[in-house]
Amino acid sequence: MGSTVLFSPAKINLFLAVTGRRADGYHELVSVVVPVDFGDTLGIETRAGDEFTLECADPAVPRGESNLVLKAARLFAEMTGRAGGAAFFLEKRIPIGAGLGGGSSNAVAALRGLNFLAGEPLDAAALAALAARIGSDCALFLPGGPVVMRGRGERVEPLAVETAARLRGRRMLLFKPGFGIGTPWAYAQLAAAGEKNYLPAAEAEARLAAWSRDARAPAEAILFNSFERPVFQKFPALPVLLENLAAEFGLAAHMSGSGSACFAFLPDGVATNAVAARIHEAWGMAALVVETKIC
Ligand code: C5P
């Protein structure tokens, strides 16, 4: 019997190029993704028997087998052949339908925790393979720092140390309107508009390579998201505010993943309170506004 508590970070896509659609319906992408110091907390207690349970005070968190924590636990038991159950306690802060990878991050925290409590039966490669089976946005959380993600999300490599150093510690404001966006819906919108929403893979790779090579290129220079065009068309409240933040505060704000959360780097000297007030004025008090930084 044992227990552990893990931090389960949110992620932000600084660069998200959807490069095309595959025969199986999934999309190919090239993305620079960073974990931030804002996130959930997952407690795990091993239990006799073979049952996995999840407690969470947030009613929006899916229950039962559709929850990625329970899916992770089931796959971990299957892959390791280990008997024994566990109780999971999730303190939820990352909103759902935000493009912040909350559910995927929770699943990876569950995998890590179960592996630790079992004496590390799975190595890094086995954990990566398992993570990819849980969801496209899971494997990116395993390295624990800035990564480049390719394929449908399962091919992940850490950014070169000097490139990651340009990102780590950068302060950002994370903000989300009261509504969320479902990832399958956003992909369907993007696909419906055909080729014009895809950035060809060669161009995505060339942009990434040029940014990585240029040691003076700031984090701001890589910002791009293929989902912005289709999602902004349906939710004009997003681009209207982002344009206002650019005009009034000089902030280059973008959406993360398939939305609806957005983010902006905070240059020194920008009054965070004034920006937060502007966001609440535009999106109402139901909007979430958090200051965070890249891990
Ligand atoms: O893999 P995951 O279950 O997280 O994906 C959720 C949905 O998002 C998929 O069913 C698919 O519609 C879409 N998706 C996609 N291409 C990806 C990742 C997700 O089309 N690379």
pLDDT of res. 83: 83
pLDDT in tens, the chain (295 residues): 799 999 999 999 999 999 999 999 999 999 999 999 999 999 999 999 999 999 999 999 998 878 999 999 999 999 999 888 999 999 999 999 999 999 999 999 999 999 999 999 999 999 999 999 999 999 999 999 999 999 999 999 999 999 999 999 999 999 999 999 999 999 999 999 888 889 999 999 999 999 999 999 999 999 999 999 999 999 999 999 999 999 999 999 999 999 999 999 999 888 899 999 999 999 999 999 999 999 9
For residue 213, the CA-to-ligand 1 centroid distance in Å is 31
What CA–CA distance (Å, rounded) separates 70 from 157? 26
Determine contact, residues 98/260, Cβ cutoff 8 Å.
Answer: yes
Nearest to 93 by CA among 145, 56, 45: 56
Query: Atom 3 (ligand 1): residue with closest C-alpha?
Result: 135
pLDDT of res. 205: 98
pLDDT of res. 206: 98
pLDDT of res. 119: 96
pLDDT of res. 63: 84
Could you count the other beta carbons within 10 Å of the beta carbon of residue 113? 27
239 sits in which H/E element: helix 237-249
What does DSSP say about strands 27-47 and 288-293: parallel, antiparallel, or unpaired?
Answer: unpaired
Q: Residues 24, 137, 176, 234: which is the catalytic one?
A: 137
Q: What is the 3-state secondary structure (H, E, C) of 66-100?
A: HCHHHHHHHHHHHHHCCCCEEEEEEECCCCCCCCC
- Ligand 1 near 189 CB (within 6 A): no
What CA–CA distance (Å, rounded) separates 62 from 258? 19
For residue 183, the CA-to-ligand 1 centroid distance in Å is 7
Determine contact, residues 177/231, Cβ cutoff 8 Å.
Answer: no
Active site residue 176: no
What's this model's pTM, rounded to 2 decimal places? 0.97
pLDDT of res. 203: 98
For residue 258, the CA-to-ligand 1 centroid distance in Å is 10
